[in-house]
Chains A and B, each alone.
Chain A
Amino acid sequence: MTCLLRLEHITHRFGKVLALDGLDLAVPAGEIYGFLGRNGAGKTTTLRMLMGLMVPDAGRIELFGEQVKSVPVRLKQKIGFVPQEPHFYPWMTARQLGRFVGGFYPAWDDAEFERLLRRLDIPTDRKASVMSGGTRTKLSLALAFASRPPLLLLDEPTTGLDPVARREFNDQMIELQREQGTTVMFSSHLVGEVEQVAQRVGIIQAGSTRFEGTIPSLRAQVRRIRGLDAPIEAPGWQRVRGDVYRAIEADWDAAILPPGAVAETLGLEEIFLAFARTDELRDEAQAS
């Protein structure tokens, strides 16, 4: 598996706050990678680091097969970025923004940008200040794809959009990704959205990766066991939360559960909640 992007043991602090705590992730080329995490889990910090706006305190960044301490401008030219809330110059129209942004990318494709504007139904003569939130987000997507980047980073782009607009945006993003074969890293805290869009997910909690893999493998590895009298404590078995356990698929297949206990597969949202809600585990740890 060729990875365009790889982070290993990344640590970063904001003063006394540990934002990233040994984060590991790898984004395979040509896939859409869903980066799931609660608010404050460290998603935006990770993406800002990948945009070269921050330098990790420790750890290793590998981008396009090149190991870097921080992301230089020449690599940034290969990355498209769609922020959570685009801060366009309010006095610029879509075309003017295209001309402006195009000046920074050697691979900028004007014709492609025009095509994207038509396809995403973005008005070309309207100033950014009077565009709706959905239109601004689509414009941001068009600007990101028009530079034909090998890697596209999206930082919770659909936050604030209504469900219809969100669905439209995601569909168009998937189509464009298929057309151009772009590798996409897509951060979100909306599980359904990630399930719809991503082929591979990484779940981050408190600055470290709790799970990374395809969605089927995630669903195969993380299951709930109902009817357990006592927690399972065996090598290869990890209790995620409550009665939710994680083990490799072969272990699940070979497992002999106590009488009355039944293993159930879970939806992605339930799995995410099991990873993200660590309060019960913390309480148990403190009690012991």
Chain B
Amino acid sequence: MIALLRKEVREHWRFMLVLYLIGGLMFALMWIEARSTISPLSAWRMLLVGFGTPAAILLPNRLVMREYGINTQLFLESLPIGRATVLLTKWLAGWIGLMLFFVPAYGAALFAARDQVYLGGGLVGLVALRSVVYLLFVYAGAFAISLTLRFRFVVWGLLFLCVALAGSHVQQPVGQWPPFLVAGEAMALEAANAPWREIAITAGLACGLLAAAVGLAVASRGALVVVLARRMSAAARTMLAFAFGAIAGVFTLIDKREPPPPFRLEQAVSSQAEPAVHVGWMGEIGGVPPERLAAGMSQDLAAMRDWLGLRPLAPVSLVPDAWREPHEISFGKGSPDQLVVRAALGSPELALPHLQEMVRIAEILDQSPAYVWREDRTWLLRGFSAWWQAGRIEGYAALLQQRADFAARLLRAHGLDAEAALRRADTADEVLGDCLAGAFAWRAVQALHERLGPQRFQALMRAALGQRTSDDARSLLKVPATDDLLEEAGVPLPRLAQSLNRAGLQLPPAALQVKASRLAGDMFELRYRITGAPASGARVRYKVLQPGEPYVQSEETYWAGAGTSGVLPATFAGGTRVFVLAEAYDPGLACRYRIGAVREALP
């Protein structure tokens, strides 16, 4: 066996070297990629799936084909060595070849991740076990298939076909099948539960495939493999070509993409008038029956369309989403040319004005996609929607005024003046939260309305938010800056902002403090404390910031606690930047606001 192993090494070392170099390069790239993922160990998982899978397929294929493809197995058969030994040696040579790369790579991954992940014996052992079982499964399967020699491509084709068919017909997604789950994304997560059942099934499958390989190799004392290795006759080649054609044809059928069916809410309450508003909730929403809400929103949207001079508006579907917080409202596109707004429609805490404002914003953005990336236009869009709302609900303007006042106090606490808050909408959102940021924008738009008067204000809003109607083609490509529009309207942004600034503002009643404490070595923990008057319903959330991550979405943050002080439930390496926010609900403002938002850079 030693002589055989030596022969395998001499025969395949160049191939292995190339494989190792590719693997090393991929490992480096995946390590860089993993810096923006939840755990640096995900680089290992990506290497395992992205490189380990093809390597575990290519290696046995080469080991077997180089022997049987050029009939050198006939030479081996003339030597005093059993076929089973030949097979076992090949199997071991390939497996050792794989391990020679993956064992050091795993060591390197653990060494590199030692400062960022708590490497307990359980985690290290479990990741190693899952990796070995997964590689063993792929390797044993590929080895068995490679022993079908000239039929191996047919077997691979059939295998992929079966997986594709099963994937589209069985209830469990392919990613949840035991072998794929074993190497799933959760592998890199410290707290993930070990999928012992899936590991056992995959290991069992690997053993079965190994037995199949042995059976195939020694069947008829090895004669079967010799027969399989023979060159094909012209008839067999023709048959094979037809088989491939058939497989490809079946794949084409599977891959035939039909346009998705139009988005339609079953049993939705719909408005009669245009634009259509469909409400997917039978109960009251914010105290309003769905029929009335749909009709009212449709009427309201039609009025806004006429006022801003927009094209016909897209139908809107309001979809209930019980998993959301009441203040988390999102929107997106549905097929064909529809808007889908998701919100916690059944929640008694859902603010109906906020929902209506978001629908309005969705409709305007739908016709003006350029605004999505114009940060300087954000306050105008939000402020307009709130201003429109305030004109239709009695007392809403007063509530917005209160919120805007409180927002100004928070901005002052963060050292931001009104101009900076308007220009840097993302920053204002971060320190105020959606609700107060909307109110602050409303105040700016309200000030614009007061200064410009109804007609000039409408002209400005049409120019800023409406459809581009100029005959000049450049206007289709270039969206004018908000600064320029305000300048043209006679209210430059600095002057407008100056009118918003208030002297003698009190600081907010509570504030968030975050302090880093060094643990062992380069590791830190973060302690938080809410100072000042206790806020009702306060909660703290956090997120590790990645390089080049300018804005933090609320839903991307992790829960840290609901007390006034505590420690974030994670440890952080030196140099990490962590975003921590504290929110509370103010019944007087009917609004969830940010007590504080801190970006902490660890030394």
Contacts and interface: CB of A to CB of B under 8 A. Distances in A.
Interface stretch (A81-89, A214-222, A250-258): A81-89
Contact of B78 (A51, A74, A77, A102): A51
Interface string A263-284: 0000000000000000000000
Contacts of B10: 96
A25 to B, nearest CB: 20
Nearest to B226: A53
B193 interface: no
Interface string B250-271: 0000000000000000000000
B72 A87 contact: yes
A89 B75 contact: yes
Given A74-B80, A76-B80, A89-B75, 10 more contacts: A53-B221, A53-B223, A54-B221, A73-B82, A79-B80, A81-B78, A83-B74, A90-B70, A91-B11, A104-B79
B162 interface: no
B3 interface: yes
Contact of B7 (A55, A76, A83, A100): A100
Contacts of A90: 70
Interface residues of B, number: 21
A63 to B, nearest CB: 13
Interface in A49-71: 51, 53-55
Contacts, number: 50
B2 interface: yes
B75 A87 contact: yes
Contacts of B81: 73, 104
Contact of A53 (B3, B6, B72, B77): B77
User: Which 5 A-B residue pairs are closest in the complex by CB-CB distance?
Assistant: A103-B3, A76-B80, A77-B80, A81-B78, A87-B75
A130 interface: no
B222 interface: yes
A105 interface: yes
B2 A103 contact: yes
With a 10 A CB-CB cut-off, give which of B7, B72, B78, B79 has the most chain A CB atoms: B78
A86 B75 contact: yes
A261 interface: no
A136 B237 CA distance: 32
B11 A101 contact: no
Nearest to B7: A100
B2 A87 contact: no
9 contacts: A51-B77, A87-B71, A87-B74, A88-B75, A89-B72, A89-B75, A101-B79, A103-B3, A104-B81
A53 B222 contact: yes
Contact of A89 (B6, B11, B80, B221): B11
Please indicate which of the listed interface residues B6, B11, B80 has the most CB atoms of chain A within 10 Å of its own CB: B80
Interface of A: 51, 53-55, 73-74, 76-77, 79, 81, 83, 86-91, 96, 100-105
A105 B80 CA distance: 7
Nearest to A79: B80
Contacts of B75: 83, 86-89
B72 A88 contact: yes
A36 to B, nearest CB: 22
A183 to B, nearest CB: 17
A77 B81 CA distance: 9
A100 to B, nearest CB: 6
A74 B10 CA distance: 27
Contacts of A73: 80-82
A76 B78 CA distance: 9
Nearest to B79: A104
A55 B221 contact: yes
Contacts of A86: 75
A154 to B, nearest CB: 11
Nearest to A71: B80
B212 to A, nearest CB: 22
A237 to B, nearest CB: 43
Contacts of B78: 51, 81, 83
A185 B71 CA distance: 24
Nearest to B83: A53
A218 to B, nearest CB: 30
Contacts of B77: 51, 53
Contacts of B82: 73
A10 to B, nearest CB: 16
Contacts of A89: 7, 11, 72, 75
A73 B11 CA distance: 25
Contacts of A101: 79
A91 B78 CA distance: 19
Given A53-B222, A86-B75, A87-B70, A104 B80 contact: yes
A188 to B, nearest CB: 18
